[in-house]
Structure formats: C-alpha cells, structure tokens
Amino acid sequence: MESISIDEILNITQGELLQGTRSAAITNVAIDSRKIKNNDLYVPIVGETNNGHDYISQACSNGGRVCLSEEKNRPFPAEMTVIYAASTLAAMKALAGFNRHRYNIPVIAITGSSGKTTTKDLVAAVLSQKYDTLKTEGNFNNEYGIPQTLFNLGPDHQIAVIEMGMDHLGDISKSIQLVDPDISVITNVGLSHIERLKTQENIYLAKKEILQTLSSEGIAYINGDDDFLKKITAENSRYQVKTFGLHGEHTVTARNYSSTQAGLEIEVEWEDRNEVYTFNYPGEHNVYNCLVAIGLGYFYEMTQSDIQRGLDAFVPSGNRMDIFTVAEIKVINDSYNANPDAMRASLDVLATLGRDYKRKIAILGDMLEMGEYGPAAHLEVGRYARDKADILIGVGKLGQEICRGYENAGQVYQVSDALAAGACLKEIVKSEDIILIKASRGMGLERVIDFIKEGGQ
C-alpha cells in the first residue's frame, strides 16, 4: 500500500486527532496487534469477546506508532499518534475503499455457495499469466478480511480478484461499496447457510448483493445453468449479464468435456473461438470453475496458451481437493467445508479417480448450518454415495443419516468424531485404497490424515 498521511486519515475517517503528530504516515493497516510493523496503522476492533483497544500498548511495543480508537477516555502510549473515530470498523472500511479507488484497474468480485474459493484461485492463476494480479488470500473474505485484502493493493497491480463470503442477508452489502467491482461472479446458489437464511430464495438474494454497485458498463458473470441465477437476466436492466455453463447457449459454453483420473479435457466455445483446455483435477464442478477463469481470460484478451498455462499453475487452497499419495494409498483431502452440492461433487471425484484403485473409501461428516434441512440432506448424500464408494465412514450426529442413506450398499461404519474416524480407518485401510475426506470444517476431519500416514508406514 502506498503511504497515507495523518491528514488524509483524518479526512477519510472524519476523525479527530487525540494526540501525536500530523507529520507521520502509514503504509499498511492491521487489526491484529501481534502482526503490527513499523509504519502500520493499528485498528482496534470491538468484538463480542475481545476489545482490540486492550492491545494498543502491544501494538506500540511491536513498532506501531499510529492507531485509531473509538474510546477517548483511556491511557495511550505517549509514542502513539491516536485518531478518534466513532467506529473503528467503519473507519477501516473507509480507508480500504480509499485505497481501492486510488487505482483505476479492473476488480473482479466472486461469490457463490460452492466453489468460490477454487474459482477465485483459478481466475487469479489465469489472469496472473498476463497481469500483475492481487487476490484474496486465505479466508479473508468477510467484513474484516476484505478491507485487509484491499490494503494490499498497490501501484504495480493491474487487476484484483476479491472473494466475498456471507453468512446472513446484508453481509455482502457491508463490503460491496469498498470493492466496487467491474465484474461480479456468482458461481451457484446452493444450501450453504440455509439454517440462518431459512430459504434458498434468501440465499439467492444474499448472493445477488454482489451485483449492487455494477454500472451500465459492469458485468454480472453468472452460472447460466443455475435455476436461481437464470432469473438475473430477466430481472436486470442496469448492467450487462454474461453466462457460463454446460447446457444450452451461454457466453462461454463447455460443448464437451471428459473427466478421467488425469483430470479434465474441456472443449470451450466463446464467440468465434472453439478451443480445448485441460485441467489437472477431475469432476464436473471443476468444469464450471474453469469456465469462469477461461471466460475472464477471453474478456481480458488472453491467448489460449496463456489461459492454459494459468490452469496448469493452479494450486488448491488448504484442505480443498488436496490429492496426494501415502504408501500406495491415494487421499482426496477436501475437508475444508461441505454442503450437499460439494459433497456430491467430491464423491464424483472419488468415483472417477477410484477406477484405478481396489477400494473406494468415503469418510463423510456433518454438513453444518443446515437447520431443518439437515437430516434429509445428509440422508440424500448417503444415497448418492451408494454407487460412488465401497466403504463409508459416517462421522458425527448427522453422519448417522449419511450411513442410513448408504445402508446395504457396502461396508458402513458410524463414528462420533474425527479421532474415532481415524482410528476406524487405521483398522481397515489397505494398500491401493483411495480415500475421500469431506465435511464442514467445524468437524476437523483433516486430523484423519495423521492416521492415514501412520497406517501407510
């Protein structure tokens, strides 16, 4: 981030200088006092259980010399320049929006019930073959993380890819003005967060918030095969709508594809271009993810070889479709998160890769935040697994429903938690097995990998 002066901070945040000098400047912003460096602005956030103002002294000890505060009546380190703001969170957002709008570069925002992180990483991998690309790192896709990403934007960047998550109606609206995207992507509308949002229609409305700031030159790039997202074209008259999909006619269409142990081969049609691409990971869901990246590559005038190089460079984020081998045992670690669509997609990958292995083992745990839909959704996942896996280990309370759906299709084990799943697996795993690990991240199923490594030795 290029420097911002104290006077600029005061103006942007409508703040009040409580103490210190106007001659200072900042070159980054942080909300974690442990990560403060020289010339950083520390923003203390007041949360449900922690008050960041309690760590202002620690931020100072770590080199911070400028901080915001929404509390006037507390002692501050004498070395600190302190700026009062009515809301430190609102002030941080204002600064993030200022930094984003310093640069006249394309910004792409991405959301969706499934695949948004993979899609974000794929889009960034492709675009970075031609452009200096900023992307959201880790899980910085919420009201606190999005500003942190925007602070990383600098004069060398030529394009930015921002992931936007949500738990409630209004979550994306809280940050969309800061991001102010030129292109907004919605991958799909599934059942994630249905417990809070109650209906899939509400999930659709929450995702659609990513389109709120698009101008007449802006583009909504949406999954044209999704029944909810199809409504956007009919409802909209304010921005352009472009679609990607496998069925029917789209702006970017996969005419044919094959999914094998080696990955995907996709025939893609766009305007007068008809080209074939390969991707190292199988599964129809990845066809959709690739279509977003390929379509944006076309839009930003990239060649086929540039786009293919980006697809080849893609590396999954942690615990997302991480495929590796331990002593002749193949592991598909997709334990970061789960919903019914993602469960089915992962089981499809297990079935495809499992053709070369003796037994296919699915370790499937609870999909959280499903509310009243939970039991039926888990039962259906179990039924879907019947012809995808030879052995099922169901984990957790709702894992019992997965086991019920799978009943009589193969060996089935029901266990309480990740440690029990690992112990069960260690007893039954054999050389030349392939194992899928999938659940909501709250289940901690990545711990099963330690048991696999022990069993593979």
Q: What is the pLDDT of residues 22-61, one digit of tens each?
A: 998 999 999 999 999 988 999 999 998 999 999 999 999 9
Rounded average pLDDT over 65-90: 96
Please tell me the distance from the alpha carbon of residue 388 to that of residue 420, in angstroms, as a whole number.
23
What pLDDT is recorded for position 139? 87
Rounded average pLDDT over 199-219: 96
Please tell me the distance from the alpha carbon of residue 45 to that of residue 413, in angstroms, as a whole number.
45
Rounded average pLDDT over 384-402: 97
Rounded average pLDDT over 344-362: 96
**Phi, psi for 18 (deg, rounded to 5):** -85, -40
- Among residues 417, 315, 322, the alpha carbon closest in space to that of 363 is found at 417
Q: What is the pLDDT of residues 136-153, one digit of tens each?
A: 998 899 999 999 999 999
What pLDDT is recorded for position 457? 41
CATH architecture of structural domain 103-313: 3-Layer(aba) Sandwich (3.40)
Task: Give the CATH number of domain 322-456; options: 2.30.110.10, 3.30.2230.10, 3.90.190.20, 3.40.50.1820.
Answer: 3.90.190.20
Q: Is the pLDDT of residue 456 over 80?
A: no
Do 334 and 441 contact (CB within 8 A), yes or no?
no
Least confident range of 230-234, 366-370, 387-391: 230-234
Length of the chain: 457
- Among residues 378, 383, 348, 360, the alpha carbon closest in space to that of 429 is found at 360
What pLDDT is recorded for position 88? 98
Q: What is the dihedral of CA 354, 357, 360, 361, to 10 degrees?
A: -120
Please report, rounded to a whole number, the percentage of residues in the chain having pLDDT higher than 90.
90
Please tell me the distance from the alpha carbon of residue 457 to that of residue 454, in angstroms, as a whole number.
5
Q: What is the pLDDT of residues 341-352, one digit of tens each?
A: 999 999 999 999
- Max mean pLDDT among 86-90, 190-194, 315-319 falls in 86-90
What pLDDT is recorded for position 234? 73
Instruction: Read off the pTM.
Output: 0.93
Q: Is the pLDDT of residue 419 over 60?
A: yes
User: Average pLDDT over the chain, rounded to whole?
Assistant: 95
Rounded average pLDDT over 283-311: 97
CB burial class (10 A; 0-12, 13-18, 19+) of residue 432? exposed
Three-state secondary structure of the chain: CCCEEHHHHHHHHCCEEEECCCCCEECEEECCHHHCCCCEEECCCECCCCEHHHHHHHHHHCCCCEEEECCCCCCCCCCCEEEECCCHHHHHHHHHHHHHCCCCCCEEEEECCCCHHHHHHHHHHHHCCCCCEEECCCCCCCCCHHHHHHHCCCCCCCEEEEECCCCCCCCCHHHHHHHCCCEEEECCCCCCCHHHHCCHHHHHHHHHHHHCCCCCCCEEEEECCCCCCCHHHHHCCCCEEEEEECCCCCCEEEEEEEEECCEEEEEEEECCEEEEEEECCCCHHHHHHHHHHHHHHHHCCCCHHHHHHHHHHCCCCCCCCEEEEECCEEEEECCCCCCHHHHHHHHHHHHHHHHHCCEEEEEEECCCCCHHHHHHHHHHHHHHHHHCCCEEEEECCCHHHHHHHHCCCCEEEEECCHHHHHHHHHHHCCCCEEEEEECCHHHCHHHHHHHHHHHHC
Rounded average pLDDT over 156-163: 98
Do 4-89 and 322-456 share a fold? no
Rounded average pLDDT over 87-111: 98
CATH 3.40.1390.10 is held by the domain 4-89: yes
What pLDDT is recorded for position 455? 59
Q: List the chain domain ranges.
A: 4-89, 103-313, 322-456
